[in-house]
Amino acid sequence: MSYEVPVIEPGQLVLYNQGLAVAYTASGRATGTTSIGLTTLVHMSGGEQLSLRAALSNPSAIEITANVAQGPGYSTLLIELVKAD
């Protein structure tokens, strides 16, 4: 799965599976005005819910904006099925 989210504050985003953070999916930045993005594999079973949230360790809220320098004016999320068990 891949995501890219345009933000203006520093911070981290994390994927959650069934409400639990998937540790290796944290992505973020300390400064700058770029998007936060990640491409990774996540093993899931049928019926499980995947969500993208701000990390609990963020010092403040993260604002999604269309005004990020040289970035998209939208968020993207791509989920691909690689193999069904």
Query: What is the predicted pLDDT for the residue at 46?
Result: 82
Q: Is the pTM of this model over 0.85?
A: no
Q: What burial class does residue 55 get, using C-beta atoms within 10 Å of its C-beta: 0-12 exposed, 13-18 middle, 19+ buried? A: middle
pLDDT at 10 exceeding the cut of 70: yes
The pLDDT tens digits of the residues spanning 27-67 come to 888 876 678 888 888 888 888 888 888 888 777 777 777 65
Domain ranges of the chain: 2-78
Quick one: pLDDT band at residue 83, thresholds 50, 70, 90? confident
Instruction: Give me the chain's average pLDDT, please.
Output: 79
Mean pLDDT of 70-75: 59
